[in-house]
Amino acid sequence: MRIGKKLILGFIIVLVLMVSMSVTAYLFLTRVRDSADIIRHLTKQESIIKELKYVVIEWLVTGDLLINGDFKLKGNFEQFESLIIEKIDDLEGLKSDLPLTDLTDEEKSVLKDIKERYNIIKRDTIEFLKLMPNLNPRYLVKCFELIVDLRNTMHHALAINDYILEGDIQRQSYFDALDKSIGKTFSDIQQLGLVAEGNQTLSRAHLQYDFLKEESRKFLKLSEDDNTRAGEIKSNIVKASDKITKDLNILTELLRDANQSASPMLSEMRDARIANLADEIDQISIDLISNVDSLSLLNRNRLDEAIQRADRIKGLSGLINMALSIVAILTGIGVAITLTRGITRPIHALGTATKMITEGNFTHIIQAISKDEIGELSNTFNQMNADLKRYKDEVDYESKELEKMNVALVAQNKIILSTNEKLLNANKALETKTKELENAYKRVSVLEQAKTDFLSTVSHELRTPLALVLGFAKIISKRFEDVISPHVNTDDGKVQKTVRKVKENINTIVSEGKRLTDLINDLLDITKIEAGKVEWKMEHISVVEIIERATSITSNFFEQEELELIKDIEDGLPEVVGDKNRLVQVEINLIFNALKFTEKGSVTCRAKKINNEIVISVIDTGAGISEVDQEKIFEKFRQLGDTSIGRPRGTGLGLPICKEIVEYHGGRIWVESELGKGSSFSFTLSCSTRLSD
């Protein structure tokens, strides 16, 4: 078999395995996707069932209130009816081609029971409401109370209107308030519903009241000279007022008679249809809720089974893919070994024969072990070997001379090949390093972009909500002091302890919020400085001004900590070139560090000229810094405390920011300290008085 055919055969074997793996993976992926679709479908069913349960409960509660006389909820009751039908239709209309997604027979049976019980409750409620207006004494009492209230309010309104028509305009606001109450009472009575005679009388009274208000407005707009028209309108108002009073009296008597006659009728009917309807509605309501719960439980069980089935498919898919991958790898290795042996063994035999020929042995014959290209090459090699043997005696002398020349040429060729190989290896190493540098540059670019994105996120996502938290914490603290504290019982020890604990917690929120704000600001500062995005305002400035400004800002803290501030500034110091605000920031940071770690004693701000530099120092009498911390103190996020005071203070970015600012100005910063004796932080500035271009 030809070598090309062997390679093609090996490739086909590996390809078949890869296709098998792909098909298997696709089949399992399809099953996983189908499982996910089934879970989504069942989850949607569960959501609809939950909504159905909520609507059913609201519908039943509304119906109960409606039956008990709250007829204003009739619209809500009908709205919930529509929602129940809509949810049942959604549940029945939710279709899918996937298996195990349609409602089971048991679920369909439960849903059928739900619809039947819904229709029974709806029917009984409607029948109950038809009997209620004539039988429910609570309804009659409610109507009677509203009519009496309307009659009394109307009496006051008509009296006030007479005063207004006589010229007492100041009572208009009182009349408007009564008018609003009258309109609401009319609306409430109409919602309850009356018998035909009562409805007609109520509507007539309402129309007369509207007519009276309109005539009153016309009267107030008349001029003083229009006496004829005024008398006519006044007469209409009096007639309308009499009719309103008469109609309201009729309504009052009508409802009083109905209320007196309803009680014996109700006593007789309650033992019959009303009581039966109420009991039936209550029992079927319980059954309806139970049906909805059963439907929800059945759906939940199917959803749990679908989730477990999906998990099993995912686990089995991973195992099968792993097994197929191992088989493919082993098969590929076997094919590679077989092909390699089939090719390398004949080549090795040719190499051995070639070596023997170079040694002068022309009697060796290569046995062709295959019929491919290498076998043909072996036969050709044997023929060549025979020809060389035949001509050996004839060209012995020339062969020896040529052999000598060949040895020399081989030696030279080896040197050339060795040199070429070294150059080739060096070139490959150079290419590798170049690619590594390119990849490193790309990674650095990605990191730089990530850092920029982080700055944007910090400035927007952290600072804004943090400012809100601090603002609300301060408001809470002030409100607590102004509103709650004055009313606290100071004699109760537990109350005092609780108040003190609340104050401490609020103060902790404020202090930690400020600390986090400082950390964010420091982080933004040092990142901008390192990225070269800071706008430096270089100018001629006085060292004395830098120290005075920094000590002025921090002077209150010295009073709070009861520490002495000492300023030791050499006279006649020359100006320096720098960014005033940034250098003041450095001095403030160093002073604050000294304040943090100094419990008693003093802090000295010193400035003096040494050679062509000005050395500015901040010296404290605090706890001091160990040699271990001194070596790492200017690293980012390195907080003092592990070896000095037992706890960290600050953000760990103040000194790194100072270092960046000082080094930008061409200076240097360092620390000299000893535990228990204090610390001295110093930095230098050049005395150059020329601004750089």
Once rounded to an integer, what is the mean pLDDT over residues 357-374? 64
Q: What mean pLDDT value characterizes the chain?
A: 77
Does the structure show a pLDDT above 90 at 451? no
Residue 514's pLDDT is what?
A: 64
Q: pTM for the whole thing?
A: 0.36
- Percent of the chain as helix, strand, coil, to the nearest 5: 75, 5, 15
Residue 401 pLDDT class (50, 70, 90 cuts) = low
Residue 134 pLDDT class (50, 70, 90 cuts) = very low
What is the 8-class DSSP label of residue 73? Answer: G
What is the 8-class DSSP label of residue 274? Answer: I
Does the structure show a pLDDT above 70 at 22? yes
Q: Report which listed range, 65-69, 144-148, 423-427, 653-657, is most confident.
A: 653-657
Q: Which residue has the higher pLDDT, 124 or 566?
A: 566
For residue 459, the tally of other CB atoms under 10 A from its CB is 12
- Only one residue has tokens 């430096």, namely 536
Handedness of CA 7, 10, 16, 22 (dihedral sign): negative
Q: Report which listed range, 12-21, 246-255, 653-662, is most confident.
A: 653-662
Continuous segment of H or E residues that includes residue 132? helix 105-135
Q: How far is CA 397 from the centre of its chain?
A: 93
- Only one residue has tokens 């409607």, namely 126
Which residues is 604 bridged to in the sheet?
566, 619
Q: How far is CA 558 from the centre of its chain?
A: 44
Q: Report which listed range, 254-263, 295-304, 400-409, is most confident.
A: 295-304
Residue-wise DSSP of 332-379: HHHHHHHHHHHHHHHHHHHHHHHHHHHTT----------SSHHHHHHH
The amino acid sitting at 375 is G
Residue 163's pLDDT is what?
A: 82
Q: Which structure tokens are listed for 579? A: 């960014």
Residue 159's pLDDT is what?
A: 85
In contact, 665 and 685? CB cutoff 8 Å: yes
The C-alpha atoms of residue 97 and residue 28 are separated, in whole angstroms, by 18
Report in angstroms the alpha-carbon separations of 599 from 565, 574, 589, 595: 13, 34, 17, 8
Within 8 A by CB and 6+ apart from 332, the residues are 14, 17
Does the structure show a pLDDT above 60 at 77? yes
Once rounded to an integer, what is the mean pLDDT over residues 287-309? 86
Alpha helices in 458-492, H assignment, sequence order: 463-479
Residue 396's pLDDT is what?
A: 67
In contact, 88 and 115? CB cutoff 8 Å: yes
- Ranking 92-96, 207-211, 403-407, 655-659 by mean pLDDT, the lowest is 403-407
Q: Which structure tokens are listed for 204? A: 């007539």
Radius of gyration of the chain (CA): 51
Q: Which structure tokens are listed for 79? A: 């709205």
Residues 315-349: pLDDT tens digits?
Answer: 887 777 777 778 767 776 776 677 666 666 666 66
Residue 307's pLDDT is what?
A: 87
Within 8 A by CB and 6+ apart from 144, the residues are 252, 255, 256, 259
Q: What percent of the chain has pLDDT over 90?
A: 14
Q: Which structure tokens are listed for 235? A: 């007469």
Count of helices and strands (H, E) across the chain: 16, 7
Q: Which structure tokens are listed for 263? A: 């009680």
In contact, 435 and 515? CB cutoff 8 Å: no
- Report the phi/psi class of residue 313: left, alpha or beta, with left for phi > 0 and alpha for psi in -120 to 50: alpha
The C-alpha atoms of residue 462 and residue 483 are separated, in whole angstroms, by 31
- Only one residue has tokens 């600050």, namely 650
